[in-house]
Amino acid sequence: MIYVWIGLAILLTPLLAALVRTLCMPAKRSEYVPQPDEKRAEFLAEKLAEMVRCDTTSHPDQAEPEKFAAFHRVLEELFPLVHEKLERTVIDGNLLYCWKGSGGGKPILLMSHQDVVPAEGQWEHAPFSGDIAQGKVWGRGSADTKCSVMAFFQAVEELLQEGYSPQSDVYLASSCTEEWGGDGAPKIVAELKRRGVELFLVCDEGGGIITDPIGGIRGNFAMVGVFEKGKANVTFTASGNGGHASAPSKNSPIARLSAFVCRVERHTPFRRKLLPEVAAMFRRLAPYAPFGLRLVLGNLWLFGPLLKRVLPAISAQGGAMLQTTMAFTVQSGSHAYNVLPQKAVLGANMRFIPHQGQEESLAIVHKLAQKYGLSMEVLDANDYSQPVDIHAEAFRLVEKTIEKTFPGLPASPYVMTGATDARVYQEICPSCVRFAPVVYGPEQMKGMHGLNENIECSCLPGAVDFYRNLIRAVR
């Protein structure tokens, strides 16, 4: 009997320790909400609205110089001092500005893209109306990401009005091909490399001030992206003899593709892991969670294995931070209901995680596809970006700037499951941070690349102040 009690004690001791740790962890609440000067918010909203009204929809491999030249003229009108005092370089519609510092400082680059995705469907406000209503700026690009472009241009405009001169060189950049992963950002980086520029910090879009970032955790949080997953577009093809649908054979092309999809969906072939950056995010968020979730997130040493198993079922976004993902997005087969296809094709989008990158993930999928008699073709691919050191000076500077600009706003590292231009800049910068200093609530998150995109006017002054403070903080 004594051995039973000893066994129970061994099992219960870690749980008891976790409970004690959680009870000793102060429960916190994020109560930050923007409270700007209304007149200033309206003034900035008008500037953003003018930018939204200029249609900058980009299309893969299509050069549309007049469209972006029109947008550049809008920028010149809205930010005259920037265009008078800074050196501007236009590279096939992509913009690069240089504000020379007084010398001796560490150069930084503030960036966000000027192009937008197509606007389809029925909108409450026309997608390029730039309407200001219900306390929001409406239109394609208002949230993704002309709000950031407006904010850092306005920050420099205001600093120039005050006669401020930076110690460090400050670069502003905006590509016009980001939405389809084009060559805009690479061209800007090539120009910077030609000039011999090595950057201390890049601040791009990606993260942001996210409302309710994880189920159960309420309020606004500064989620600062520290790396982004790689990606690939892949096709799988199943071939067969075809024939009449009245006498179907077994293992038809569509059946084999379906079996392959079910296998991947039900039993992921990819390994889950709590990366250091993900673990740091959970630890930062733990005090803001209800007790049960706080117990788990605050004691990853005990509950890490459990979290890896259950998180993908609870949160698709959270699960994507743990592993390589594959989403099936395109399919085709026969063009007639009564004809079995001789060939069926399935398309998938993959996102690679650092612990199981491009080469390994593609090899796993290729081996699995062969089991179902499928051929596989990789249309395009790039690997994950190197993580930013969250203990290094550049990341800490961003954290301090968030704290100064948004008092009471909790900040946390964050894993980008999407893609940005920032990954291209890693050739010349070790700290490419993804953070747009605007509030993205559920409505704004839904509107990006969707219907009725908008941004709250109230968050625009804070975005400008963040960039002002960041420029002033760099020495």
Residue 398: C-alpha distances to residues 174, 261, 341, 416, 475 (Å):
20, 42, 55, 17, 13
pLDDT at 214: 84
Which residues does 332 contact at the CB level (< 8 Å), separation at least 6? Answer: 344, 345
Domain of 234, CATH number, reads: 3.30.70.360
Q: In this structure, are strands 201-211 and 108-111 parallel, antiparallel, or unpaired?
A: parallel
The answer to the question of residue 262 being in a domain is yes
Q: In this structure, are strands 94-99 and 170-174 parallel, antiparallel, or unpaired?
A: antiparallel
In terms of domains, do 146 and 77 share one?
yes
The answer to the question of residue 292 being in a domain is no
In terms of domains, do 152 and 256 share one?
no
The answer to the question of residue 326 being in a domain is no
The answer to the question of residue 299 being in a domain is no
| Among candidate residues 382, 415, 443, the one where a domain is terminated | 382
In terms of domains, do 348 and 221 share one?
no
The answer to the question of residue 300 being in a domain is no
User: How many structural domains is the chain composed of?
Assistant: 2
The answer to the question of residue 31 being in a domain is no
Mean pLDDT, the chain, rounded, equals 93
Helix ranges restricted to H, 269-315 = 276-285, 291-297, 300-314
In terms of domains, do 255 and 179 share one?
no
Token reading at 83: 């265009």
Report d(CA 238, CA 235) in Å as an integer.
10
In terms of domains, do 241 and 185 share one?
no
In terms of domains, do 48 and 132 share one?
yes
pLDDT at 2: 66
The answer to the question of residue 340 being in a domain is yes
Which residues does 10 contact at the CB level (< 8 Å), separation at least 6? Answer: none
Largest interatomic CA distance in the chain = 85
The parent domain of residue 377 ranges over 230-271+334-382
In terms of domains, do 235 and 223 share one?
no
SS3 state at 388:
coil
| Among candidate residues 347, 382, 417, the one where a domain is terminated | 382
Q: Which residue, chain included where needed, has tokens 């999928």?
A: 365
14 neighbors 22 (Cβ within 8 angstroms):
no
Q: In this structure, are strands 432-440 and 411-416 parallel, antiparallel, or unpaired?
A: unpaired
In terms of domains, do 112 and 55 share one?
yes
Model confidence pTM above 0.85: yes
In terms of domains, do 410 and 342 share one?
no
| Among candidate residues 350, 382, 414, the one where a domain is terminated | 382
Domain of 456, CATH number, reads: 3.40.630.10
284 neighbors 297 (Cβ within 8 angstroms):
no
Note down pLDDT in tens along the chain; length 475 residues: 665 556 555 666 778 888 888 888 899 999 899 988 999 999 999 999 999 999 999 999 888 888 999 999 999 999 999 999 999 999 999 999 999 998 777 999 999 999 999 999 999 999 999 999 999 999 999 999 999 999 999 999 999 999 999 999 999 999 999 999 899 999 999 999 999 999 999 999 989 999 999 878 999 999 999 999 999 999 999 999 888 788 788 889 999 999 999 999 999 999 999 999 999 999 999 999 999 889 999 999 999 998 998 888 878 888 899 999 999 999 998 888 988 899 999 999 999 999 999 999 999 999 999 999 999 999 999 999 999 999 999 999 999 999 999 999 999 998 888 889 999 999 999 999 999 999 999 999 999 989 999 999 999 999 999 999 999 999 8
In terms of domains, do 437 and 423 share one?
yes
Query: Up-side HSE of residue 91: CA atoms within 13 Å toward CB?
Result: 19
The answer to the question of residue 248 being in a domain is yes
In terms of domains, do 191 and 249 share one?
no
In terms of domains, do 378 and 389 share one?
no
